[in-house]
Each structure stands twice: as structure tokens, then as C-alpha cells.
């Protein structure tokens, strides 16, 4: 069985989070690494509320066959400062 790995490569429909280190990069560029880089690059929610980013993924082009499953991996750090709950979700949408 073949495995195809897709990582963010473009801005999605929503860019509400704050990029870190914030040196002019797009948000997706702070979450596209193959190996997690710790706290070197990331996106964060700078204000209270339900904010989110969406990211574009590349289309697969030459791969053929039946898709038997999809697995989404994401890494999140929760730092609520003891003030309440924090949550993180990963969601996939297709066809706009």
C-alpha cells in the first residue's frame, strides 16, 4: 500500500491566527514542516475567541488507485495560562 503525504502549501479561505515569528511569512509556511520544529515556527491565537486558519493542500497528480483512508496529523500546544479551556481541531474540507 502506498502512502501519499500532503502538507500545507497555500493560504486557505481563512487566516485569523497570528504567525510566529511573524517575519512576513504566510501562516501556512509556519506549519508545513515534515518534522515538528518545536517552538521555532507556529501560528497562535493572540486574542480570546474561536479563531482559525485554513490551509491549501497540493492536488495529487500522478497517483492512481482507490483511497482507502485518510489520516490527519497535527501538533498543538495548549497554554491557557490557567484561565480556562483550550482546544484544537484538525478538519478537512474538499471541493471548496
d(CA 80, CA 23): 25
Whole-number pLDDT of residue 56: 92
**DSSP character at residue 38:** T
Query: What are 6's strand-pairing partners?
Result: none
Overall pTM surpassing 0.85 (yes/no): no
d(CA 79, CA 77): 6
CB 27 within 8 A of CB 11: yes
- pLDDT tens sequence across 7-26: 999 999 999 999 999 999 99
Q: Which three cell numbers stand for residue 59?
A: 492536488
Amino acid at each position: 500500500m502506498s502512502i501519499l503525504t500532503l502538507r500545507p502549501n497555500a493560504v486557505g479561505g481563512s487566516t485569523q491566527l497570528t504567525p510566529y515569528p511573524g517575519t512576513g511569512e504566510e501562516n501556512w509556511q509556519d506549519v508545513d514542516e515534515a518534522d515538528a520544529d518545536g517552538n521555532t515556527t507556529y501560528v497562535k491565537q493572540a486574542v480570546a475567541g474561536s479563531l482559525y486558519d485554513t490551509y491549501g493542500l497540493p492536488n495529487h497528480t500522478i497517483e492512481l488507485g482507490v483511497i482507502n483512508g485518510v489520516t490527519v496529523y497535527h501538533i498543538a500546544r495548549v497554554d491557557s495560562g490557567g484561565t480556562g479551556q483550550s482546544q484544537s481541531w484538525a478538519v478537512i474540507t474538499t471541493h471548496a
